[in-house]
Amino acid sequence: MFAVVLVIFILNIWGNDLMPFINNVLLVGHIFGWLAIIVVLWILSPRNPSKVVFTQFTDEGGWSTMGLSLMVGQISAIYACICKSNSLMNLFFKKKKLINTTFD
């Protein structure tokens, strides 16, 4: 772990002109890695007909009803949407207030 910090420290001080190249190489590596994972999962995943995918629901979580199982499963997605919109609105209003107080 110390070696990683040391490499980052050295690159930030003396390798400043190499940073754009390193960032581009890492970006390409991440894109190819993501594509490799997606292709492997796509090829090896089991297939279901569309009727099964869109009409059959299973409650394998042990909840008492299907509706409760559905709501528990959507908590994280709903929470992410609420927090994202709230943080964006907060940023918008802070920026608007900052602009209005700065330039008035």
Q: How far apart are CA 12 and CA 45, in angstroms?
A: 42
**pLDDT higher than threshold 60 for residue 104:** no
Helices (H) and strands (E) counted in the chain, each on its own, are 4, 0
**pLDDT higher than threshold 50 for residue 21:** yes
**pLDDT higher than threshold 50 for residue 63:** yes
pLDDT at 29: 97
Percent of the chain at pLDDT > 70 equals 76
Amino acid, res. 68: L
How many residues are there in the chain?
104
Q: Is 62 left (phi over 0), alpha (psi -120 to 50) or beta?
A: left
**pLDDT higher than threshold 80 for residue 71:** yes
Percent of the chain at pLDDT > 90 equals 30
Mean pLDDT computed over 58-66: 82
